[in-house]
Amino acid sequence: MIISFKHLLTLTSVFFGIWAAGHTILNKRNPRGAALWLVIIILLPLAGSFLYWVLGINRIHRRAQARARKKRGAVCRVYSSECIVQDLPGDGRFKTLNLLATRATRRPLLAGNSVEPLFDGNETFPAMLESIGGAKKSVTLSTYIFDRDAVGIRVVDSLCAAAERGIQVRVLVDGLGTSRSALKMASRLRDAGAKVSVFHPLPGLPFRRPSINMRNHRKILVIDGKLGFTGGINISGRHFFSKQWEKELVRDIHFRITGPVVEGMQDVFAEDWYASAGEVLEGDVFFSKPHEKADAYARAVASGPDENFEKIYEIIIGAVHAAGETVTIVTPYFIPDRPLVQALRSAVLTGVEVRIFLPARSDHTVVTWASNAHLSELLDSGISIFWTAPPFVHSKLMIIDGFWSLIGSANIDPRSFRLNFEFDIEVYNRDLAEKLTDYTDGLKKEAILLNSDMLLARPLYKRLCEGVARMFAPYL
C-alpha cells in the first residue's frame, strides 16, 4: 500500500505531537507553562512540536544533571576557614537565610570583603579601564552586551594593550546580546593575543543549536583573581552620560569588589569559559586567594538552567520571608510568579514595609504589559510601587531590613530565574545597605507613587494587552 504525502505528513505530525505533549507533561515544573506549551502543540501541528524542541527543552539542565551524577560527592572550591562566616550577628532570621543560601548554592558565606557601588557608566567604565590597565597577571571579562561604540572600542583598546604586554586575557560574550557587527572586534583582541569565545552563537539553522532561548546574562570582570566588578552594566555607551550621546540613556549601578568572594566570581567565569571555550582556567594566574581587611560578608550566587537552576529565585523568596522591617526591590523587569506575589503580600501582613521601584517606561513593551498585570493585586495588598522617572533605570538590587542586599545581573522575571545564566552576590553589611537605600531614596524623589486609580484610568485595550501578556509570562 502506498502512503500519500498528505497521510505521511499527518502521521508525522501526530507522532511528534504525542512526543512533545508527553515530554511537556513529564518535565515541565510550571503548570501554566506546561498548559501553554500543550495549547501551542495542539493548535500548531508539527510547527508547535518543532518550536517546543527548539525552545522548550532545557538541554543544558539535563546535561548538567548527567555531569552531576558522574561527579557526585565532589565539593566546591575550598576556602580558608578564617574566611568562612561561622555565626551571623542579629536574630535568627538572617541565620536561617544564610543556611538556606549555603545549602542552595553549596558556597559558604565569606568574611573580609569590600563592596563599593559605582553609579552609571561614568563611574563604572573609568574604574574598569584603570583596573585593566593595572593588571599584572590576568583579565577575565564576561558580558551580555558588548556594543561597537565609543565605550566598547575603548574597552577593546584597553584589553588589547593588556594582552600585548603579556597579560592572560579571556573575553566571553553572549551570541545574542552582542551583535554580529560588534563581534568583529574579536579579531582585534585575538590579534593582540587575547582569547575570545561566544556563548551559544546564533546558528544559521535552529536545529544546529537548540538552546538559543538560553543566554548568558552575567556581567563579570576579574583582575588578577583579586579585584572584581559585577552588577547590571553592559559594555555600552548607553550607560555613559554624555552630551555627545544621542541614543536613549540607561541608568544603572555596578560594584567594585575585593576580598575572598572574588574567587567565587572567578570560579563562575571559569565554569562558563570551560563550557564555551573548552579551556580550564586554574593556578595562581587566575586564582590568587584574595584577602581583604574589610567588614562585608558576601557570597557568590550563580543561577541558570543547569545544576544552579532557580538558585537566585530561592534566595529571593527566602529573603522576603526573613524580612522583619523593610523590603526594597529595584528592577527594570518585574514579572513575579504566584509564590513571590504571595510572599510579598504575606510580608505586608506581618507589618513589613514593601517598596518596589519600576521604570515608568520600559524598553520592552510586552514585558511592561505583563508586569503591569500584576500591579493591581500588589497595590491592593498595601505594597508601595514607584514608577521611576526617565532615563530608563536598569538597576537590579534588593535590600532587606537595612542589612542584607542582593546585587548583580538578575531581573525579577521568569527569564532571569529559569532561562538565563545570571550572577548575583548577596551581601550582609549595613554600610552597603545604607548606600543602596540612599540610592533608592534618590529615585523616590523623582518617581511617581502608583495607585489603583491610575491603573484603572488606562485605556481598555492596554489592560486587555496586559492580561494576554500575563498568560505568556513564563516565556518573557
pLDDT score recorded for residue 19:
72
Query: Is 438 annotated as catalytic?
Result: no
- Active-site choice (147, 396, 413, 424): 396
Q: 345: burial class by Cβ within 10 Å (0-12, 13-18, 19+)?
A: middle
Distance of CA 452 to the CA centre of its chain: 30
61: annotated active-site residue: no
For residue 403, what is its C-alpha cell?
A: 542589612
Q: For residue 56, what pLDDT is reported? A: 63
**pLDDT tens, 402-429?**
999 999 999 999 889 988 999 999 999 9
Out of 116-125, 184-193, 200-209, 451-460, least confident range = 200-209
Domains of the chain: 5-57 (no CATH), 112-201+209-302 (3.30.870.10), 311-475 (3.30.870.10)
Q: Are 235 and 225 in contact (CB under 8 A)?
A: no
CB 443 within 8 A of CB 393: yes
Whether residue 401 lies in the annotated active site: yes
Name the phi and psi angles at 311, rounded to 5: -65, -45
* 394 catalytic per annotation: yes
Q: State the greatest distance between any 2 C-alpha atoms of the chain, in Å, as a whole number.
A: 82
Which one is catalytic: 28, 217, 226, 254?
217
Considering 147, 174, 306, 401, which one is annotated as catalytic? 401
pLDDT at 67: 42
Signed CA dihedral, 176, 179, 183, 185: sign only: negative
Residue 26: pLDDT over 60: yes
For 145-173, the pLDDT digits (tens) are 999 999 999 999 999 999 999 999 999 99
The pLDDT tens digits of the residues spanning 47-102 come to 767 666 666 665 454 444 434 433 333 334 666 667 888 888 767 889 999 999 99
Per-residue confidence (pLDDT) for residue 385, from 0 to 100: 97
Encoded amino acid at 309, one letter: F
Assess whether 28 carries a catalytic annotation: no
Q: What is the pLDDT of residues 215-236, one digit of tens each?
A: 899 999 999 999 999 999 999 9
* Contact present, 434 and 257 (Cβ < 8 Å): no
User: Would you call 219 a catalytic residue per the annotation?
Assistant: yes
Phi, psi of 162 (to 5 degrees): -65, -45
